[in-house]
Each structure stands twice: as C-alpha cells, then as structure tokens.
Amino acid sequence: MSDMGTTAYRAGEKQGLGKHWAVAAGHPLAVRAAQAMLELKGSAVDAAIAADAVMGVVEPMATGIGGDLLAMIAPPDSTPVAYNGSGAAPLLLKAEHVQALPGGRIPERHVLSITTPGLVRGWWDMHQRYGRLDWARLFQPAIQAAREGFAVAPVAAREWQIFDFVLHRDPVCAALYRAGKPPRAGEQYLNPELAAVLQDIATQGPDAFYLGRPAQQAEQAMEQVQGLLRTEDFRRHKGFFCEPVSASLGEFSLYECPPNTHGVAVLDAVQSAWKRPVDQDAAELELVKATEAAMAQASRVVCDPAGNTVCTVVVDADGLAVTFMSSIFKRFGSAYAVPGCGFVLQNRGFGFSEPGHVNGPGPGKRPYHTVVPSLALKSGQFHMGLGVVGGLMQPQGQIQIWTRVLRDGWPLEKALFAPRWRLEGAGRLALEDGFDASRAAFLREHGYVPPDKGVGELAGRSDFGGAQAVERLGDGRLQAVSDPRKDGCVALD
C-alpha cells in the first residue's frame, strides 16, 4: 500500500507557522499533494489543483469532476483576480420543463437539477495562467489515491452515512458509493474508474473530459432517465477570469467573487457591522442583524439552499496566493453517476428560483452559486485567504470570521475555532455547542429564537461549516489554520 493509500487515517496539524509557503485544505492527503507540488517548486495554483483533485477522490459527497470551481487569486505584483468556473444549465432546459414540476421549482436531486461540470476546465484555465509544473504531474496523487485506495476520514464517513439515503435511486451511483453499506471511518475505499478518467485528463488535458468518454457516457445516461445534459453542453462550456467585487475596510480591502455568487452579501454585512459597539453582546447582535439583512437582500436575487463544498488555501514562496473552492452542491450532488467514470454529476440547478425570477432557469444559464472564495489585502499587499464550506454557512461563516479577524483583531485560530451561529431563517438562529451562554441569552431576548426541531441538513442538526485560511502576519510569517470541524490540516515551510 502506498503512502497516499495509508491503511489508517492519519490526522494532521490544525494550525502552524511558516516562513516560505503555507497550505490549508480539507484532508491530509490533499495537503500532502499540495505540499509535494510546492516542494517541486510549483506555484500555489499547481498545489491547489493537486489538492483539489485529491479532494474529489476522498470526499466524493462534497466535490469531484462532475462539479464546479470558483477561485480568488492574489498575484504578488497586481490586484486580485476572480475565476468563475461554474457550469450552465443544459441547452435543452426550458421554463416549461420546470413549470410542469410540482411547485414549479426544480427539486433537490432531480435530473433537471444537473448542470454542466466546470471543474476540469477550471483546473486547466488556472494552470494555463498561473501554473509552473507539468500538467500531468498535478494529478498523480489523486490518481494514486483513487487507484490504490485510501482510509476514509472520520467526518467524511459520518456524512457518507447520513446521506446514504440519496444513493439508492440510481443503480450506478448505488454501486459506486456502496449504498446501504457506506464505508466507516478508517475503512479503505478505492475508485479505479475515477483513477482512469483522471489519468486521461492528466495525459490528454481537459478535452479528454469535455470531448471524450465522460461527456458521451453522461449523455447516454441522461437520455435513459429523461435528463437534458448533452455532449454539446460539455463542448460549449467555458469558464472565465473576472474582476472581483471589493470593499475598503480601514487599512484592509476585502475581495469576493461577483455574482453569480453571494460575495456581495458578505461585503454588505461586514461593512454594515464594521463600526463595532463597545458592548460585546450588542456587537454580536448587530453582526447577526447585518448578516440577516444582507442575506435577505441576496435572497431577492439569489436562491440559496444549503449544500457542500471543499476549500484549499495556498500561499507559495513567491507570494502568489489562492483561495480555491470546488463543489457538486448537495451531498453527492444529483446522485446520478456517470457509468464507468467514477463520479456523480452536480445538482446546481436546484439553486434556480422559479421561472420568471431573475434567477429563474433557462437554457445555457448559470444559476446563482453558494461558493464564495475570498481574500483580503492589507495596505495593498496580501493579508489573508479564506473559504468556508457548508451551504448557507459559507457567507455566514465568512462574515463572522472576517469581522473577528479584520475588525476585532482576533488571532486566526481563535476566529476559526470559536463557536458559531447560523441563521436558518428569519429570526431563527442556531447556536453551536459551546457558544457563550450569556451572549446566547442576550440574542434570544432580542428575538432570535432557535430553529424548529429537525431543521438542519446534518440529520436534523445545523451545519456550522468548515473553514480553511492562511494569513500573513506582521513579521512576514504565514499562519495556516484548518477548521477542527472537518478532516483537514495544514502544512508549512
């Protein structure tokens, strides 16, 4: 058994300090892959791609080549750049298809929820602009893990078990992900079909995916279940680099991806809460209110059901920084797998609103996205990269962490480890275990009541997300922190 396919799950450090480069990612094997690329003198983007490819192997409920990519890049000598690698709805999708459904909305894991995968093209586009290593080299850790096997991590095993119920409808998906008998923590899992597809992508580039067997197999599978995704959708897909949205916050500048994401809502809330009340309880209340107002505004143009994602943050020795986030949306995406290819298609179309809404469905249209990578500059230089996974917790977690680090001056580990709150609806506030009791009482007294019993996507419990972050300290060192709520860790030099 190779090092990438260790027989026992080995947790890594959750925080650390380094002088040259830093990585924070959602799984030890992903961190090791990124570290290997950096030790080969690869760029932060090389490292992030290698880590993300591994994440698609070891956390198939969260991401994979059937999903999307969004990223925020901070070159050391220029302004930040965003990348949008979200896929569009099939060209065959019409409003009439959706209007005929119960409630006039696309259900959570319906065949019409499937959108074109954007991740593989995103890897390529990012590598073309910022990569240094040979393309094929980036995928060897992921190929090895998929082919030889890996030990399933504790949090991943728990989510695999919770969401086993979605795996039974599609026989291909059921066989691929062991429906009815999900792997336990520490148990070996391998995916040779995915290893073969990743090998083709490594040797032939993105055309192996968008013009090759995965696209053809996806079309055939969709035709059998009245799905609309076709090889033409794969062929037409393109991602793009774009200018981020930003806000000035004293000496800091905070950057988020523009629509079709929730980045603007994060900026609105952090700006609204920037002038902090002296009283700590009042400050927390104002932050909750600012978040609620920003999310309400976003909901007028964005449909934001909860989902899942992975995040990698890397800063390399040359100062290039990237926050890299990929997702298949809901756990196990659409739960429709591509035969013989080892991955599921995403269900990002569930993020469409009803027909006629600004975020309503349409042929070739991108739905609004929950994935929001971000970073901050301090006096024009990179200061911190941050991503939070967990659907509604992505913008809400960012708002809490950015405010505590930039406004309140909290150490990064304190900001990531502290108990969180999560708005589950208007006036409905879930509080994480360990949340300050007196502050909780203050929030309850001011109208924020617990969610209804059973609300929450983790078997009726609220998901408080998981963050990855790297910060440049005042002395020039890098601090990386990986959220203890997830399986991730850090590596530094």
User: Which pLDDT belongs to residue 3?
Assistant: 45
Domains annotated for the chain, with CATH where assigned, are: 15-492 (3.60.20.40)
If you average pLDDT over every residue of the chain, what do you get? 94
Confidence of residue 304 (pLDDT cuts 50, 70, 90): very low
Residue range 435-471, pLDDT digits in tens: 999 999 999 999 999 998 877 777 667 789 999 999 9
Say yes or no to pLDDT of 9 above 70: no
User: Which pLDDT belongs to residue 460?
Assistant: 67
HEC string of the chain equals CCCCCCCCCCCCCCEEEECCCEEEECCHHHHHHHHHHHHCCCCHHHHHHHHHHHHHHHCCCCCCCCCEEEEEEECCCCCCEEEEECCCCCCCCCHHHHHCCHHHCCCCCCHHHCCCCCHHHHHHHHHHHHCCCCHHHHHHHHHHHHHHCEECCHHHHHHHHHCHHHHCCCHHHHHHCCCCCCCCCCCEECCHHHHHHHHHHHHHCCHHHHCCHHHHHHHHHHHHCCCCCCHHHHHHCCCEEECCEEEEECCEEEEECCCCECHHHHHHHHHHCCCCCCCHHHHHHHHHHHHHHHHHHHHCCCCCCCCEEEEEEEECCCCCEEEEEEEEECCCCCCCEECCCCEECCCHHHHCCCCCCCCCCCCCCCCCECCCCEEEEECCEEEEEEEEECCCHHHHHHHHHHHHHHHCCCCHHHHHHCCCEEEEECCEEEECCCCCHHHHHHHHHCCCECCCCCCCCECCECCCCEEEEEEECCCCCEEEEECCCCCCEEEEC
Confidence of residue 259 (pLDDT cuts 50, 70, 90): confident
User: Which pLDDT belongs to residue 307?
Assistant: 62
Say yes or no to pLDDT of 428 above 90: yes
Least confident of 28-32, 200-204, 419-423, 450-454: 450-454
CA distance 387 to 54: 18
Say yes or no to pLDDT of 266 above 70: yes
Confidence of residue 301 (pLDDT cuts 50, 70, 90): low
Find the mean pLDDT for residues 228-254: 98
Say yes or no to pLDDT of 491 above 70: yes
Confidence of residue 6 (pLDDT cuts 50, 70, 90): very low
